[in-house]
A and B are shown apart, each in its own frame.
Chain A
Amino acid sequence: MNGLDVIDRAIVAALQSGLPPEVEPWEAVGRKAGLAADLVLARVDAMIEAGVIRRIAAAPNHYKLGLVANGMSVWDVEDSEVDAIGARVAALDFVSHCYRRPRRLPHWPFNLFAMLHGATRNEVEKKRVIVRSLIGAACGSDDILYSTKILKKTGFRLAG
């Protein structure tokens, strides 16, 4: 998947702050991009097809919806098993994101990151036990980093 052409870029720029909450929002997006609404929609469709846009959706503030306990659980998993285990951890219904990332030795031995959510920390800790038992013997040490504040959340923006 290569970069976007000049039309796509104008559309992405016009949508950076989101889709206007209007009954027919695409006219306004078209005006902002200097393009006809039909062209904008066709290009947006193509970008969804290509995976450039995952979906057009609302991003909620977890805290305001009662999920006040959010922990980034991190695990030191055998390299030979991490992909198989990562796929199984991700399938748990309380895991919102699951990634393999590089270790930063000696202080950071963890290579599997799984975001856990719950109404209370106690609830999250119970979920952590479930993840630990799923990983089993392939797991060395683990930790969890609770978030205490959103400092910024704006999403992706085109630079300049």
Chain B
Amino acid sequence: MSGGKMLRHIQFWILAVLGTVLLTGCGSEYLVLNPKGPVAETQYNLIIISTILVAVIIVPVIALTAFIVYRYRDTPGNKATYKPEWAHSTTLEVIWWIIPIVIVALLGYFTVRDIYLLKENPNKEVAPMTIQVTALDWKWMFTYPEQNIATVNHLEIPAGVPIRFQVSADAPMNSFWVPELGGQIYAMAGMATELYLQADEPGTFAGFSSNFSGEGFAKMQFNVVAKPKEEFDNWVKEVKGTTPAMTKADYEELRKPGVTDKFTYSAFPEGMFEEIVAKYGHGHDMDYVMEKLPAPAGDKSSNETSQNTQQKTESHNMPGMNHSSMNH
């Protein structure tokens, strides 16, 4: 049996188990368990693998608990052995130090492999398209630098094309999450985080704000609509022809705390996203932001190395600091 096939096989059983546990099986409302793109797929597989590995512990332990509690209950006439001084066995203890170590080692292997994997473009054959995401109070703004259009509270993407999201905020921290396409990333003021997602097929996917940001937070949900490439291009053309352009004043209006409808704009002020990111940085820090943001498509490797060298020269031991734009 090939590795893939075996995994599929195991998946089947785990689904069966999960189905029982979750009462209603994996209906389409179980977004995380219905991956619609390569990133979510990778994560889904990890969820399955880790579920199996922890089940290897959980199931026997619970069974053993039930057995021991029943067998050694204190009732008259219980014939089970009673050894009140038996309190040590090197063999046994070595065994149960080793079992979790082995499981953690296995799980650690898969985890680390995919951590590195997900930092990269999930689809090497297609050049990624960039979309910039800005979390505002309490709405999502999406700007398309390649198409020079913008949307608010809804996101349209081409299916089959990896999207490179650059995520920032002009408001308290939030988190950008489209479960069917893949896991989330924080949206933070003064820096741009990066997330690759791809929808394999056309469809509509629910998107969520997933880090609490105040009063209107629960209303920050949006839909992601994936369309075939041509349809997407047509949509862009339509947007260009029929909707107004976003001005600086429009943006300032959007920035004000409040919940709004969906909007679509045929253009947005040039370099607006970079400005939003740089607004909370200053001086020389801006170069870094500028240098990092409009990374040419396909030039991923050089970007990666600069990231790595930066990591090595970092003197701080606090994670999350190294990509901050204020940190030189």
Co-assembled chains A and B: no
Q: Which residues of A contact B (CB under 8 A)?
A: none
Q: Which residues of B contact A (CB under 8 A)?
A: none
